[in-house]
Amino acid sequence: MKGILNILKPPNMTSHDVVSFVRRKLNIKKVGHTGTLDPMAVGVLPICIGKATKIIEYMQSDTKAYRGELTLGASTDTQDRWGNIISTTDKKVAKEDIINIFNAFIGKQLQIPPMYSALKYKGKKLYELAREGKEVEREAREIFIYHLNILRIVENRVLFDVKCSKGTYIRTLCHDIAKALDTDGHMSFLARLESGLFEIENSITLEELAEADINTIKNQYLYNIDYPLKNIPRADIALSASKATINGVPIREKDFKLSSKINNKDIVRLYIDDRFMGLGIYNKGKDASFIKIKKIFV
């Protein structure tokens, strides 16, 4: 079996717990997720199965969309409501100020990852150091907030939707917004609505997966390997070059046709007779171009 499942991760489970669940259900060892979702968060968690695990590296850079809630008035050590409260304030913040600060966070910016994260420092995960009471300096990373839309403000709680680049911590976004408002704050709810092309409306629960037979999973729940790669340019290869392609031999210019104009060293999807074969790297030479095989999935 090979393909991708769009799983609706429940709360109180780690992303690795979901991977283990899928492994047991399908009796397949080669299973992986495309981006960690906090244990208490819910939402879209694409799970790659079999040869589809080879495309995880291309899915990790996908944009993500979330619905979150910022609660003002208290900060925690984890930047969310499941941590220990470290400071509080009774300060009242005007709705107009909240709206203005939210708008100011749209676009490119630098974000310092939280201590309670799976990032590593000298071989050790940051959350392990945090649990030991240690804090280390973290390098700020460039992120991009595509949109940040307030849905409603009720007393000290702000419900919002956000679309962002990979590596964005919504907990930290909430913390930073509160700081910009000169108050305390933490993330009190988080649901991932989208991960690349996978949306929460089309996700399946672990209960649905558990009750389904293998044929139902294959025919109704499993996405083809190339589904999340639609944004990568396509190259159609001549039938006569099938054997060479499968064997990893570079594809000559006369044996492929590109779907669009691309740049040198761009990744391309490879198809033979409309069947997805794998991924290659386009090389534009002075005299002739060719595609170097990178991954084959057949």
280-292 pLDDT per residue, tens:
999 988 888 999 9
Q: Domains, the chain, ranges and CATH?
A: 3-62+197-228 (3.30.2350.10), 64-195 (3.30.2350.10), 232-296 (2.30.130.10)
Query: Residue type for 170, please?
Result: I
Contact at 8 Å (CB) between 115 and 80?
A: no
266 is catalytic: no
Is the pLDDT at 122 greater than 90? The verdict is no
In angstroms, rounded to a whole number, what is the distance separating the alpha carbons of residues 74 and 233?
47
Burial of 286 (0-12, 13-18, 19+ CB in 10 A): exposed
Read off the tokens for 248. 């990893």
More confident residue, 115 or 182: 182
Catalytic residue, chosen from 17, 38, 62, 90, is: 38
150-173 pLDDT per residue, tens:
999 999 999 999 999 999 999 999
pLDDT at residue 107 in the model: 98
